[in-house]
Amino acid sequence: MVLRGTLSVTSMVLALYGPVSKPAEARDRLPGDALTAYRADYTVNLRSRIFEEAVKATPGRMTIRMYRHLCHSWVTSFELSLRVRRSDGAEHPLNLFVERQESMNGRTLRYNTRGVMDGQQERVKVGKATRGPGDGGWVHEALPQMERQDLPADTVFPLMFLKEILAADRLRRPMVMREVFNTRVGPVTQLAVTRIGNPLPGFLRFLPSADAMAPDLRERTAWPITTSYYDAKVTALVGASPSSTEEVVILEGGIVIGANLAIQEYQVSAVLDHLDLLPQADCDKNLSDGG
């Protein structure tokens, strides 16, 4: 049940958790060096949190790549592959591919999502979202059907939100709260409330795969981050249940080294197996708006 009334979301967060990170004021372009280009491979497990015997999956593989594209945007891609076993005992191969290209100034986002089960393409999402000069914006989705939708003022895209989380930690702010455009659930925005835990220096040293990583990576600091996503219409957090929750451990530069995701009735966990830093050109002196 959502309680609506005099307590706004912001006032509730302030009362419960203290200061909230403020949106970047007149700062569309955040430092490019806040992020690190990388490729990471993970072992992934999926299970149903409600019907334990209905859906199971053998451990699968996930790969994340994040890199600069032509010095004006960042590309983030996710590839997931696993075999899902249902209650009838049959196994079904599942492959998911997600790619997002977000301009350096945070004004445009192109996205492409494909899901394939048993070799048959079941879900495709292709679109472009744009933030206008007044911080409002719009999204044009080409697939699965032509659709146009306005974006609320102060909407941010995923990578800009990640940069604000990294900046919030440097400023010792324990929380970031923003309206985020979420391509995973449709062309919609959600209220994202992120809590940043205490820093974990040298966290990678404790992973089984640490010996295969460069020494400077093993010494980087990590942070546990919990993000809850709420319906954008929620006006108070008391009694409100998030539609999904992410528990992620992030290394300096925005590198994901572990994740535990609750999405509807499913629980998805990812454990880092291998991490490589990708070549990264010095684009800071010659940034274009991109788009």
pLDDT number for residue 40: 93
Residue of 146, 145, 113, 140 whose CA lies nearest to 127: 140
pLDDT digits (tens, 9 = 90+) for 73-97: 999 999 988 887 766 677 778 888 8
Mean pLDDT of 11-36: 41
pLDDT averaged over the chain?
75
Confidence category of residue 151, pLDDT binned at 50, 70, 90: confident
Q: Please report the pLDDT score of residue 1 as a whole number.
A: 26
Model pLDDT for residues 218-232, shown as the tens digit of each residue: 888 888 999 988 886
Residue 28 has pLDDT above 70, yes or no: no
pLDDT at site 67: 92
* 98 vs 172, higher pLDDT: 98
Instruction: Return the number of other C-beta atoms located less than 10 Å from residue 276's C-beta.
Output: 14
The whole-number pLDDT of residue 103 equals 92
Structure tokens at 39: 């490729």
CA distances from 97 to 76, 77, 121, 208 (A): 11, 7, 11, 27
Mean pLDDT is lowest, of 77-86, 206-215, 244-253, for 206-215
pLDDT at 249: 92
